[in-house]
Amino acid sequence: MNEVAKKITEEIRARGPISFARFMELALYCPVYGYYEREQDTPGRAGDYYTSVSVGSLFGDLLALQFAEWLEEILRLDAQTPPPGAPGRPVGMIEGGAHDGQLALDVLSCFRQRRPELLARVEYWIVEPSPRRRAWQERRLLEFGPKVRWVAQLGELPRGLLGVLFSNELLDAMPVRRLSWDARARRWCEWGVGLDGERFAWAKMLDSPTAPVLPGQWERLLRALPDGFTLDTAPAAEAWWREAANVLDQGRLLTIDYGLTAEELFAPERKDGTLRAYSRHAQRADVLARPGAQDLTAHLNFSALQAAGEAVGLETETFTTQEAFLTRIAARVWEGKAALGEWTPARTRQFRTLTHPQLLGRAFRVLVQRRVRS
C-alpha cells in the first residue's frame, strides 16, 4: 500500500465512505505523494500519456501567435478608452496549472524571438497552488527571471487585469462527482469510496446533495434515462471557470481539454460515464486501484462550462476542436500573415499529431470566451 492509499484508508476508517471527488483529490493532489506531485515525467513517450505540450514546441508557438494577436487588440482598445483613475493596469498572460512549466517556456520563448516588443509590455502569471510544482516551474523558467510571477490562487491576481487567462488539460483533472440514475426512484445517487477488506470499493453515499444542475431541456431527458446511467460532473471545474471569468476586466478566457457537450455526455454509448484511469499509455479498468500511481480524468461538460461563463458576463467566441483551432492559426503562418520562421519537416510532424482526428485533433476541445469593457 503506497502513501496515498494509506492516507485514503485512514480517512475512510475515521469517517466512513468518502466521496469520489475526495478520493480523486487525494489520489492526484495529495502533497508530496499525489500523482501530479511526482517529479518524474508522466507525459510523453516514457510516461503514462501524451499531451499537446509533449509533442514539441509547435503547440506553444501557435498559442503564442494567437495570444499576441489578442494582447495587441486589448492594448489598442484600452489605449482608446482608458478607464478614469486606472492608468498602467496590468496586462498579461495567465496560465492556470502550468505543471512542469514547459508550455510557459515554449510560449515565452516564441514571444522573445518573434515579438520582443510585446513581451516587454506584458507579464506572465502562473496560478499554482502546489509549492512542489512551483519549484519545478521556477527551475525551468529561470532564464525569464522577473518576467514570470506566481500566485497560489486566482483570487491573488491583481485587480483590473487585462489579458489572456488560459489552461491546458487542467480542468479535466479536477475532482469529479460520480452520479448514477435510479430510474425507479427517479433521482440521482452519488457513488463514494469505501473499503472492502484492504481494497477500495464503490459505496453509495447516503447523505449527499446528488442532483446535478442541468438546463431545462436536459431535465426532460431524465424520463428516458436507463437505470444506472452514470454521469461524472465537475463542480470544481465550473467554479474555477467562474472565478477565472471574474478575474479579467478585459480579455479572453481559454481552455483546451478533453470534453463533450451535454448532448454528447447523455448519449446512450456513455451510460457508464467518462471517468477513466491511465498508466503507461493504456486505459486501466479499475479507477480505484493504485491511487497516486495512475492518472485519473473525466470529460468536461463544455455546455455547463460555457453557461457558467455566460452567467457572469462573458461572451462565447469559439467552441471547436483543437484541430480546427490550431489549423486556423497555422493558416496565417502559411499565408504569410504571421511570422514563425521556417516551417520545417519537424513542425509538420508535430502539426499532424496535434491536429489528426485520430490522435489529438478531435480528442481535445477548445472553449474561448471574452469580456469586453464597455
For residue 162, what are the CA distances in angstroms to 121, 123, 167, 248, 314?
12, 10, 16, 6, 14
> Which spans in the chain are helix H?
3-15, 20-29, 52-55, 58-80, 102-114, 116-119, 131-140, 216-219, 235-247, 262-265, 302-311, 322-334, 345-355
For the four alpha carbons of 112, 340, 76 and 104, in that order, the dihedral sign comes to negative
Sign of CA dihedral 69, 75, 77, 79: negative
Distance from C-alpha of 66 to C-alpha of 157, rounded to nearest angstrom: 22
What burial letters (b/e) apply to 23-50, b meaning 16+ CB within 10 Å? bbbbbbbbeebbbbbeeeebbeeebbbb
Per-10-residue mean pLDDT for the chain, 374 residues long?
Answer: 93 96 96 86 55 94 97 87 63 94 97 96 96 95 96 93 96 94 89 95 81 60 85 95 94 96 90 90 86 94 94 96 97 89 93 92 94 74
Residue 338 CA, distance from chain mean position: 27
Backbone phi, psi, residue 188, to 5°: -90, 145
Domains in the chain with CATH codes: 1-374 (3.40.50.12710)
Burial 250-264 (b: 16+ CB within 10 A, else e): bbbbbbbbbbbbbee
pLDDT at site 316 = 97
Tell me what pLDDT residue 187 has: 86
Can you give the pTM of this predicted structure? 0.92
- Residues pairing with 124 in the sheet: 93, 148
Residue type, 275: L
Q: Tell me, what's the pLDDT at 186?
A: 84
Cell of 373: 469593457
Pairing of strands 177-182, 230-233: antiparallel
Look at the block and give the residue holding cell 467518462.
Answer: 274
